Amino acid sequence: MSEGKELVESIGEKMGFTPKVLETLEAIDPHFVKKYSRCDQKLLTDGALPAKVKILMALAVVASKQCEACTVSQMKSALKNGATKEEIMETMEVISITSGAPAVAACRDALKLLK
């Protein structure tokens, strides 16, 4: 197995699913996945902040950018990393306060994962 495929699988294990875009990028340019992996390592591992907190922060950021697919990915990752419904809903309050209704609306499909 190539290093790129191994990295994609590793990220998928940490997130609880493998984003299709990573599989596509790995097929096109395995070196890109290597660079992406270095950044993702910071998000998906505990440091001064637990991974769960960093992922909830990422959820807020991608919601502010109104990227619906990104909010679904971050929600799956948050749940896989132990985020509770209460923590997610508190994050939604932060999203609402800081980025408004459009950012909350970008989370519509992501919130369905809480059911």
Inter-residue contact 111 to 72 (CB < 8 Å): no
**For 77-91, how does the pLDDT look when each residue is reduced to its tens digit (9 = 90+)?**
999 999 999 999 999
**For 14-73, how does the pLDDT look when each residue is reduced to its tens digit (9 = 90+)?**
778 888 888 898 899 988 888 877 777 788 889 999 999 999 999 999 999 999 999 999
Inter-residue contact 2 to 61 (CB < 8 Å): no
User: What letter represents residue 41's amino acid?
Assistant: Q
- Identify which of 75, 79, 69 has the alpha carbon closest to the alpha carbon of residue 21: 69
Domains, the chain: 1-45 (no CATH), 48-115 (1.20.1290.10)
pTM over 0.85: no
What is the reported pLDDT for 42? 82
